[in-house]
Amino acid sequence: MDFRARMGKLGNGSRVAIAVAVVAVAATAWVVPTVTESTAAPHQNVAQQGESNDGDHSGQDGAQGSGGGGGTQQGRIPEGIAHASETGGNAVNITIDDGPDPVWTPKVLDVLKRYGVKATFCMIGPQAKAHPDLVKQVVAAGHRLCDHTVDHDTTMDKKPVAYQEKEILDAKKMIEQAAGGGAEVMYYRAPGGAFTPDSRRIAAANGMRPLGWNVDSKDFSKPGTAAIVDTVKKEIGNGPTILFHDGGGDRQQTVEALGQVLGWLKAQGRPTGFPVQTTP
């Protein structure tokens, strides 16, 4: 017996009940897919926004993008290690580590002023706290500040994340308090280049771009002024960011070599600038 014949034998009440059931099933078939789509989309968006791509110890140039998911968004500091210059072209970044020092930082500042060059000073927290006048001089001269941790621990990459965070953030606070006037610490340089994905993330989340170097002048070991200058000239092809020191002992060779290097760069027609802080 077909469907129509069966329906004909049913009473009016039974036919009404069956019709209501059919309508309910049809409504359910339309509603369920709508609910499923609306709840799934936000989870997909969260997963995409949370993705990250941490690099290795060598890091990335600013022009090549960031090392973390958050850093790729406009207005955020990338987690990738910066090497490139904001000025672009063949510009060079002069960076000065381990100060400030009451004897050598003023001499370095004098050399920079003589050649009209701005540099980035990577300061150790307690040194900045002990010599706030020097930090203020650095800022007043138009140079930039960089966090070089509290204890200059070159094994930071083997320490717990909580330790790394304290080393970085305590130093940042010391430097900013010494500078006063709302001065900003714009970079973080790991001692000995001992960066980790965590330390880079912590720095970037607190407004500091991880900062590497391309040319180690070897001035820290005091090999002689001529040797320092020669090293810079030979290695300048590696990239634009040069490492010098104004702390950690007698820096007379650094002061002399810095002047010669800046004179040579000027003769080469190479401008100086600051490292990138954000991705273009």
106 compared with 45, residue with greater pLDDT: 106
What are the pLDDT digits (tens) for 112-167?
999 999 999 999 999 999 999 999 999 999 999 999 999 999 999 999 999 999 99
Q: How far is CA 138 from CA 111, 123, 180, 211, 222, in A?
A: 13, 11, 12, 18, 24
**pLDDT, mean over the chain:** 80
Burial label for 245, CB within 10 Å (0-12, 13-18, 19+), is buried
Residues with catalytic roles: 97, 245
Phi, psi (rounded to 5 degrees) for 57 = -60, -35
Kindly state the tokens that stand for 73: 């968004």
Rounded to whole angstroms, the Cα distance separating 65 from 252 reads 38
Q: Give the global pTM.
A: 0.75
Quick one: how far is CA 130 from the chain centroid? 26
> Residue 6 carries which side chain, given as an amino acid letter?
R
Q: How confident is the model at residue 75 (pLDDT cuts 50, 70, 90)?
A: low
Strands (E) across 43-138 are located at 92-97, 120-123
CATH class of 62-273: alpha beta
Using the structure block, give the residue that is written with the tokens 């309910």: 24
Quick one: how far is CA 180 from the chain centroid? 23
The domain ranges of the chain are: 3-49, 62-273
Residue 45: partners with Cβ closer than 8 Å, 6 or more residues away: none
164 SS3 class: helix
Rounded to whole angstroms, the Cα distance separating 166 from 147 reads 12
Using the structure block, give the residue that is written with the tokens 């960076």: 95
Q: Which of 33-47, 54-68, 135-149, 175-189 has the lowest mean pLDDT?
A: 33-47
